[in-house]
Structure 1
C-alpha cells in the first residue's frame, strides 16, 4: 500500500511539474498565470509547473542580423547595401523585453531603429564616401545613433557593418575615371620627380668637375710649370729618337726629325 502511494505521489509530481535547462549564452523569463516574473533566470536547471507556468528563453550572446537596405546619399542618389547588425541582449532586461516587446523584438524595435538611423546618417554623406575610407565613419555614426535609442531598452549594438555596396552605374564609372586620372597624375609626378633628381645630380657632377679644374688651375704656378718643363727636357734627352726641339726655356715644342716638312 505504501509503495502504491509513493508511486502515485511521484506520478502526480511528474504530471504537475517539469524542468528545463538554461544554457550558457541564454537567459530565462518565467511567466506564471499570464504574469511575467521580474527576476531573470540564469544558467542552470529550472523547475516549473507546466499547467500554470512557462519559461521563455532568450539569447544573450552576440547576434548577427542581416539586412539589405537602400542608403540615401547627400546628392539624392540611392546606394544599395547589405548590412550586418551585431547586437546582444542584456540578460537583466529580458523580463521587460518579453513584457513590452515580445520574442519578436528584432522586427518590433531593432530593425525600425536601424532603418531610421541609417537614413539619417547616410543622407549626410555623398555616395562616393560610402565606397571609400569614410565608410568606417558612417558605420560608427549609425551604431552610436542606434545605441542612444536601444540602450535603455536593454540592447547593446556592438557594430554596424556596411557590405556589398552597389553604387549607381553612372557614379561607378565617374569614380573609376577619377581614380584612373589620379593614378596618371601620380605616375607623371613620379617621372617629374625623377627628372628633377637627375638634373640635381648633373648639376652636382658639373660643380665637382669645375671645382676640381679650379683646384688644378690654382696649383699650376710658374715655378711648377718650369719644373715640369725641365723634367720633360730630361726625358727627351734620354730618348734614342732623333728630334728637333724648339723651346723658350719654359715649354718645349717637339718636331719629328723624320718628317718631310
Structure 2
C-alpha cells in the first residue's frame, strides 16, 4: 500500500512537471520570473513545478473583434464591427511576454483605438461606405504598425478590416438617394450618347446618298443620255405589242395600247 502511494505521488509529480506543446503553439519556460530564450514549437517540455512554469502562446493568425463608434470628418459617429488580424513572431515571443505579459491584446486594441480615431477623422462618413474603405483600413494599419513597433515589437499586424458599417439613418438615406441620382444620370448620359450616335449615323447615310446622286448627275452627259435612248428604242422595236411612241428623237415616251 505504501509503495503504491509512493508510485502515485511520483506519477503526479511527473505529470505536473511537464507540458505538452501542440502544433500551432509555442512554449516558453519561465523560471523564477525569467523567461528562457529557448522556444519549443511542438512536443513535451519538462520543468521544475516548484520554481518554473511553461507559458504557451498561439503562433497562428489570431482575430480580435471589436464594435466601435468611429469619428468622421463632419463630426458624426459611425458604428463599425472591426477585425484585427495579427500573429506573434516566433523568435520574439519571450520578449513580448517579458515586456507586455499575456495581456498583449489589450495593447493592440488600445493602439487601434488611437490610430482609427486619427485616421477616420480625416474622412467623411460616406467614404467608409464606399470604395474608400480599403484606403482607410490601410492607413489605420500603417499607423498601427508604427505605434506597435515602439510599444510591442514582435506582433505582426496582418490586416485591419472594417465590417458592418452602420451610418446614421439620415445620412444613409441621403447616400442612397445620391447613388440613385448618379445611376439615373449615367443612364441618361448613355441614352443621350446613343441618340447622338444614331443622329451621326443618319447624317453619314444622308451625306453618302447625296454624294452618290451628285456623282451620278455629273456622269450623265448628253452622249450617255443619247446612248441610253438608242438602247431604249432598240428594246421597244423587239416587242410584239402595239405601242404609240411619242418622241423628239432623243427620248421616247411610251403609251401602251
Q: Under a length normalisation based on structure 1, what TM-score does the superposition of the two structures give?
A: 0.87
Shift in alpha-carbon separation, 1:217–1:170, aligned structure 2, 3 A: same
The runs of 5 or more residues in structure 2 that have no matched partner are: none
Once the 2 structures are TM-superposed, how far is the Cα of residue 120 of structure 1 from its aligned partner?
A: 0.7
- Contact 2:35–2:98, Cα closer than 8 Å, also in 1: no
User: Matches of 1:53 and 1:38 in 2, distance apart?
Assistant: 10
- State the partner residue of 2:142: 144
- State the partner residue of 1:224: 224
- State the partner residue of 1:205: 205
- State the partner residue of 2:189: 189
Once the 2 structures are TM-superposed, how far is the Cα of residue 216 of structure 1 from its aligned partner?
A: 1.8
Shift in alpha-carbon separation, 1:251–1:13, aligned structure 2, 3 A: closer
- Contact 1:29–1:95, Cα closer than 8 Å, also in 2: yes
Q: Under a length normalisation based on structure 2, what TM-score does the superposition of the two structures give?
A: 0.89
Once the 2 structures are TM-superposed, how far is the Cα of residue 196 of structure 1 from its aligned partner?
A: 0.9
User: Matches of 1:8 and 1:68 in 2, distance apart?
Assistant: 54
Q: How does 1:164-183 map to 2 (within 5 A)?
A: 164-183=164-183
Once the 2 structures are TM-superposed, how far is the Cα of residue 66 of structure 1 from its aligned partner?
A: 0.4
- Contact 1:40–1:91, Cα closer than 8 Å, also in 2: no
Shift in alpha-carbon separation, 1:245–1:148, aligned structure 2, 3 A: same
2:113 aligned to 105, 108, 115, which one?
115
Output one character per residue of 1:191-222: Cα deviation in whole Å (capped at 9) or x when no partner. 11111111111111112211221222222121
State the SS of the aligned residue for 1:157. strand
- Contact 1:38–1:96, Cα closer than 8 Å, also in 2: no
Output one character per residue of 1:93-147: Cα deviation in whole Å (capped at 9) or x when no partner. 322332332212212x111111111111110100000011110111111111111
Output one character per residue of 1:147-180: Cα deviation in whole Å (capped at 9) or x when no partner. 1121352211100000000001111111111111
C-alpha RMSD of the superposition: 2.3
Once the 2 structures are TM-superposed, how far is the Cα of residue 13 of structure 1 from its aligned partner?
A: 8.6
User: Matches of 2:6 and 2:124 in 1, distance apart?
Assistant: 74
User: Matches of 2:165 and 2:39 in 1, distance apart?
Assistant: 41
- Contact 2:20–2:45, Cα closer than 8 Å, also in 1: yes
Once the 2 structures are TM-superposed, how far is the Cα of residue 15 of structure 1 from its aligned partner?
A: 3.1
User: Matches of 1:216 and 1:195 in 2, distance apart?
Assistant: 32
- State the partner residue of 2:248: 248
Shift in alpha-carbon separation, 1:42–1:245, aligned structure 2, 3 A: same
Output one character per residue of 1:40-85: Cα deviation in whole Å (capped at 9) or x when no partner. 4222321111122111111121100100011100000111000000
The runs of 5 or more residues in structure 1 that have no matched partner are: none
Rg larger for:
1
- State the partner residue of 1:81: 80
